[in-house]
Structure 1
Amino acid sequence: MNHALPTAAPDDCARDRAGRPETRGIDQVPVTERHGRARELFAIWAAPNVSYLSFVIGATLVLMGLSPVQAIGVALVGNLLWILTGVVAISGPAAGTSGSVVSRAMYGVLGNRIVLVLTGWLIASAYLALNWSAASVAGIGLARRVGLPDNSAVEAVIVCAIAGATLLVAIYGHATIVRLYAGLSTFLTIVFVVVTGYVLAETDWSYAPAEPLHGAALFATLTAGFTIIASTPLSYSNSPDLARYLPRGTSPVAIAGWTAFGAYLPSVVFTGVGALAATSLDMSDPQRALENILPGWFVPVFVIAVVCNTVANNGMTAYSAGLAVQSVGIRLARIPAVLIIGVLGTTMTLFAILVFDFLTSVNTMLELVVVVTGPAMAVAVTDLVLRRNRYDGSELLAERRDGPFWYRGGVHWAGILAITVGGIIAAMCVTTSFWTGPVAAGTGDLDLAIPGGMLTAAAIYWGLCRFLRSIPDA
């Protein structure tokens, strides 16, 4: 069985150049075409995380009843999970292909397709919708300021325009992302530092919650905040996609370090700023609250920065989601695959913007995705450790019935059982605005979805791989 996907001609594949659409899909990057340095990953991961959503999440932690110091502490700890995103990234240069292909080692050729439909399509599309919603809310507000009609048609045009710009980045691909994000990270940092200055000027440094949390109530809120913060790094299982062009001999420590640090630093800083903003501003409407303290001339710059950040974040997500479409066996080139994900994400965005409240959409999304993304990340890291990062890209791409990743009937049951049972445990331990798992309810609403789901998935995968001897020399 060999469902080979359309691949670009060798002369096209070699042209991984900024400003030119990338023709390579999931096919392996030849050693002769590897290039770049690990430090490039810092800007690639910083640009998506110099983020308006970080302001929103930081403010949410304070609105939940935490003090600013407690909220910043949660941000410092929760964002440490970016280390896992960095660790997973080192499989990209080792295999020379996308993370959605590397995961065949964990779930089998056919089992991987089921997992990717959930993690690579639906969750990716939901994150596209979440970020497009944030940018669209800001863009719609600016449209009203300049006198455009306040109706659904204008809102739909703004959503589609932002989505179109994002998909253009994903279509131009890897080299454009590397070049563009270096400049974007600088621009976004400057704009958000200016916003930070105005926030600090308004901060109530003596702020304390009206009803300070203590004991079990405090611990429950801290665990819920940790889940919200950690949900973002756990969602980025696509980190191998952005590292796969690096030379195979690139230091794994450098790859993991630059990836994790590039995301961790801005995430912590601007989540903390959001928490401070909530001490004096009405952050139940974060866009209006921030715009009210900014000079009028700077508001359009801020909105442009929010849109650019969204394009950076979603450009990366759409790029990887297009590779995931190919990885499930759909015979499409990479660019049409990106467009399919874009249409799905745009539809979800329009629904979220026109039907649901923005903050409700943010919190619900971040509370729930960890049920899947936590166990999936745990399986990926455990597999990498067991294999010592030895991935054969050509074998992963072969899809042969007699290949090492066919396992039993195309399914690696160790991975499928690990992510399934881990997900069930996470669902039992999660606390959300509309669902509280029985374990969470029995422990005073403690949200233990991340440690419960991840430790369960890792233990099951480790144990079954050793029992079944499905990983050589594990």
Structure 2
Amino acid sequence: MERAGQPERRGIDAVSDAERIGRPRQLFAVWAAPNVSYLSFAVGASLILTGLSLPQAFGVILAGNLLWICTGVVAASGPAAGTSGSVISRAFYGVVGNKMVLIVTGWLIASAYLALNWSAASVAGIGLAGQWGLPGSPGLDTVVICLIAGVTLLVAIYGYATIVRLYTALSVLLTVVFIVVTGYVLGSVDWSYAPARPLHGASLAAALGTGFTLVGSTALSYSNSPDLARYLPRSCSVTAVAGWTALGAYLPSVVFTSVGALAATSLDMADPQAALEKVLPGWFVPVFVISVVLNAVANNGMTAYSAGLSVQSVGVRIARIPAVLVIGGLGTAMTLYAILVFDFLTSVNTMLQLVVVITGPAMAVAVTDLVLRRNRYHGEQLLRQERGGPFWYRGGIHWPGILALLTGGLAALMWVSTSFWTGPLATALGGVDLAVPAGMGTAALVYWATTRALRTIDRDADADADGPGSPNSRTQKGASLCTPTSS
């Protein structure tokens, strides 16, 4: 049994029924802590800086954050399978195909998100060090980044039980601090704000599309949500797991992204930290900065935890804790490069828009597979990697999944619009960014059509794979409530 305060030794192996405890509602705090976020302020400010009015920005925030529903739905596969999301995805892509996908989604993109959040925390920490009289230098920057990364990796090493316990306290602490910040921001808001040049027609559509991609990109990056639900009892309600996961992320994301938009009506949010510190009393600035760092630790603790499991899922013969350190090292290197080379806000916007080219289609494939299989996943079968196993498919590759991911990614690439790359279809419509609906819609449609045509998903066979009377069998109806299992 995994316990808080002890390093988690379990890797991707299946969680037995005897070790499954808890209720879905604990997922609310787990997902709230990383989303009471400084980055939400930055994203909300970006919506105003692109020329949107406050009502338009609020509409984008409400709509874009609805994508957290996908994160919640995918989380429901965790209790069903009892293993990590990076193993469950073998059902989508095949044993061999999954390894190729995870190198991109589980390693490179995870490392990029580590760098993004560590950059936000490091910018705040470096600024605080300067206020305390420490001379600015690349050496100081490196020390701050490495300290924040080290604390984060410690959380990931201690793992699931510690995350659940710690994030409950962090969600309360961070919410209190950020509500105080919100109070000071509201006192400086220009409630009569209107863009100097209101957007119309194609320019308005382009700003709305870009904003939707920015806001929705965070939710689409969390296809690892089964990792934080796999210790829950198998009998947990799918609706409860999905609902508490989505709600825990949605509420703080909506609130604090909206606060960022409000702040941009009167403050120069090109430098969010400096702008917010102007309206905060001097004594509260260190509290705010420490909270920014704690938020980054919470966010990246989850990411590093799941990325370590992805390393194992690819087949690297390494224990979970060393795997976490490998991913953490890569993320730290990317953070150092980002801090010393790039402008923070530009880096945030460009990355969030570009990653949806991969994360959007990947999320769509995961949700579509869960619907087609009726959330009947079996951890023991998913962990079998031998040739001819249940998820070997043809040559170890489930071609419908790979084809859906590639075509969805191509569709998204044609519609994305950033300062780094603008797709030809986006260009033809004046820079309108439709990468999220185009990529996800294409991937879902291709996956559904090809699995039906090739008959690679036999839902009746999946239902009875564990035999009559098993927890996943058609003859065993899932309980409407989640009943904790005692060890």
User: Which TM-score bucket, shorter chain as reference?
Assistant: over 0.9
Determine which of 179, 194, 201 is the counterpart of 2:180.
Answer: 194
Q: Contact 2:33/2:171 (CA < 8 Å) preserved in 1?
A: yes
Query: What is residue 289 of structure 2 aligned with on the other side?
Result: 303
Q: For 1:189-268, what aligned pairs fall within 5 Å after superposition?
A: 189-268=175-254
Q: Contact 2:374/2:459 (CA < 8 Å) preserved in 1?
A: no
Query: What is residue 319 of structure 1 aligned with on the other side?
Result: 305
1:342 aligned partner, one-letter code: G
2:18 aligned partner, one-letter code: T
Query: What is residue 470 of structure 1 aligned with on the other side?
Result: 456
User: How far is the alpha carbon of 1:371 from its aligned partner?
Assistant: 0.2
For residues 448 and 273 of structure 1, the distance between their equivalents in structure 2, rounded to whole angstroms, comes to 25
Query: What is residue 91 of structure 2 aligned with on the other side?
Result: 105
Determine which of 389, 399, 404 is the counterpart of 1:403.
Answer: 389
Alignment deviations for residues 172-228 of structure 1 (CA, whole Å, 9 cap, x no partner): 000000000000000000000000000000000001111110111111110110000
> Which deviates more, 279-288 or 441-450?
441-450
For residues 473 and 47 of structure 1, the distance between their equivalents in structure 2, rounded to whole angstroms, comes to 37
Alignment deviations for residues 45-95 of structure 1 (CA, whole Å, 9 cap, x no partner): 000000000000000100000012211110000000000000000000000
2:99 aligned partner, one-letter code: R
For residues 250 and 174 of structure 2, the distance between their equivalents in structure 1, rounded to whole angstroms, comes to 15
Q: Is residue 106 of structure 2 the alignment partner of residue 120 of structure 1?
A: yes
Determine which of 257, 261, 265 is the counterpart of 1:271.
Answer: 257
Normalization by structure 1: what TM-score?
A: 0.96
2:187 aligned partner, one-letter code: A
Percent identity between matched residues is 73
Gaps of 5+ in 1: 1-13
Q: Is residue 10 of structure 2 the alignment partner of residue 24 of structure 1?
A: yes
Aligned-residue CA RMSD in angstroms?
A: 0.6
Q: For 1:137-148, what aligned pairs fall within 5 Å after superposition?
A: 137-148=123-134
For residues 434 and 239 of structure 1, the distance between their equivalents in structure 2, rounded to whole angstroms, comes to 29
Determine which of 36, 61, 84 is the counterpart of 1:50.
Answer: 36
Determine which of 162, 178, 183 is the counterpart of 2:148.
Answer: 162
User: How far is the alpha carbon of 1:260 from its aligned partner?
Assistant: 0.1
Determine which of 81, 84, 97 is the counterpart of 2:67.
Answer: 81
For residues 290 and 69 of structure 1, the distance between their equivalents in structure 2, rounded to whole angstroms, comes to 22
User: How far is the alpha carbon of 1:434 from its aligned partner?
Assistant: 2.0
For residues 200 and 407 of structure 2, the distance between their equivalents in structure 1, rounded to whole angstroms, comes to 33
1:463 aligned partner, one-letter code: A
Query: What is residue 444 of structure 2 aligned with on the other side?
Result: 458
User: How far is the alpha carbon of 1:137 from its aligned partner?
Assistant: 0.3
> Which deviates more, 440-449 or 164-173?
440-449
Q: Contact 2:22/2:233 (CA < 8 Å) preserved in 1?
A: yes
User: How far is the alpha carbon of 1:99 from its aligned partner?
Assistant: 0.1
User: How far is the alpha carbon of 1:360 from its aligned partner?
Assistant: 1.2
For residues 22 and 93 of structure 1, the distance between their equivalents in structure 2, rounded to whole angstroms, comes to 18
Normalization by structure 2: what TM-score?
A: 0.94
For residues 21 and 260 of structure 1, the distance between their equivalents in structure 2, rounded to whole angstroms, comes to 27
For residues 231 and 90 of structure 1, the distance between their equivalents in structure 2, rounded to whole angstroms, comes to 20
User: How far is the alpha carbon of 1:255 from its aligned partner?
Assistant: 0.2
Gaps of 5+ in 2: 461-487
For residues 66 and 133 of structure 2, the distance between their equivalents in structure 1, rounded to whole angstroms, comes to 43
For residues 443 and 355 of structure 1, the distance between their equivalents in structure 2, rounded to whole angstroms, comes to 32
Alignment deviations for residues 306-341 of structure 1 (CA, whole Å, 9 cap, x no partner): 000000000000000000000000001100000000
For residues 303 and 234 of structure 1, the distance between their equivalents in structure 2, rounded to whole angstroms, comes to 27
For residues 429 and 261 of structure 2, the distance between their equivalents in structure 1, rounded to whole angstroms, comes to 27
For residues 202 and 351 of structure 2, the distance between their equivalents in structure 1, rounded to whole angstroms, comes to 25
For residues 434 and 259 of structure 1, the distance between their equivalents in structure 2, rounded to whole angstroms, comes to 33
1:186 aligned partner, one-letter code: V
* Runs of 4 or more consecutive aligned structure 1 residues displaced over 3 Å after TM superposition: none
Query: What is residue 11 of structure 1 aligned with on the other side?
Result: none
